[in-house]
Structure 1
Amino acid sequence: MNQIDKAKAFAALHRKGDPVVLYNIWDAGTAKAIAESGAKALATGSWSVAAANGHGDGQKIPLQQLVDISGAIVAATDLPVSIDFEGAYSDTADEAARNVAGIIDIGAVGINFEDQVVGGSGLHTIEAQAARIKAIRAMADEKGIPFFINARTDLFLKVSDEARHPSLIEEAIERAAAYAEAGADGFFVPWLSNPDLIKQVCDAVSLPVNVMMRPGMEVKAMAELGVARISYGPGPYRAMIEWLKGQAEAVYQAG
């Protein structure tokens, strides 16, 4: 498939109640491994990509290095690939669009694009984030690629006290509506885990809803709530590192 066909196939995988499952990867090797495991599409996790290359999360990995890694991943597989692009390495709409253009040019079919102020505090205003999404959409349309913009809100991630999450639902739904109007294709609510709240978002939002798996969450249960996309975030990388450390410790202790 060419890039346009891959992008269309990727979008079609987002079905409410029958979610696409993305076991997040971080390099070409993990892309091949997950593809061979039966995945229908691939997606990176920003935390994992950064950690695997000696950097912290939050756009600490240099932009060009991230673009190069993304290109290697795309080249390693025939599956559609989405890149976790955090805040697009810019607070401005035009520069964000230019940076995303580099991700399109290496063959990716989508991005995660978050509304927190990376390296700062709080979230971008709804209007500012919608303007950034609109600029990315216009750029992708000009290139003729039906690029999947997975608009991520960090409302819930920024509030560790889950007892406060119900009070954030109204704003989350408001942000989803604004992002959809600006041209987003999906709505990502990482750290939201309460089933009733997830269902409330799925029922109220027109976009396919993406959740990130946390302990106690199951794919089947998320599907029944109306979720259309499931991500594993940094979980796979962390599990792999713990396994690797365990293997190494066994070797050195035996010696």
Structure 2
Amino acid sequence: MPPVPVLLHGFGTSKRLWRAVLPLLDSEALALDLPGFGDAADDGRCTVDGMADAVLEGIRAAGPERFVLVGHSMGGKVAAVLAGRRPQGLSGLLLVAPSPPSPEPMTSGQRAELKALHGDPEALRAHYRRITRRPLTEETMLELTEDGLKASRAAWNAWPDSGSREQRDADAGRIGVPVSILTSQDDSVIAPEVTERQLRPAFALARFTEVSGGGHLLPLELPSEVAAAIRYVGGTETGPGGLRTNPA
């Protein structure tokens, strides 16, 4: 049996981020809401370690014998930190447009703007339009906005205030499984210079794959490419066909 993909969403979203990817996978996946987002209660675990603890609890409750961690954006940093703990059953790691383990390059003004989005549906919609390159359906935009409004303020503020600032390169250096990283040359959030300056040095042995035509929300914008990358890290596909792969 192939390992179970454990899917972690990015900042402000929920497990519904993976809605277009799930039907394209070869097996059932475990999509989890991080604390304070989606249907997960805000239990105070808003640090990167706290979120990693919650993810590990969710995996243990589901009980897969083998699994691969798949993290988008904020969830990518959480996945990398959890992978650095070398949990039993982990067989691979895929990071999709991930926040780097080192502090994410945001100005104080950008952090303030991100925090100000909370509770403002029109500002949220404008934000999602800015960080994507492919048009989103009205249904998808509605779900994103609902998830943004549903998030607890404490969890929302914790990422720009602290989580995105954490220095976790040492955790990334302890990962003992194959790592794949999927980025987009058209991503304005995790831009190509972030990949070169922060991701490549932190994940020196990773397989880097770059796509184009999608922005930051790759699971919604380019679900086929994301699904192919998940199948690859899970060992059910020999290579991410059609994607440009650049070995580190």
TM-score w.r.t. the length of structure 1 is 0.38
TM-score w.r.t. the length of structure 2 is 0.39
Flag the structure with higher helix content: 1
Q: Which has the larger radius of gyration?
A: 1
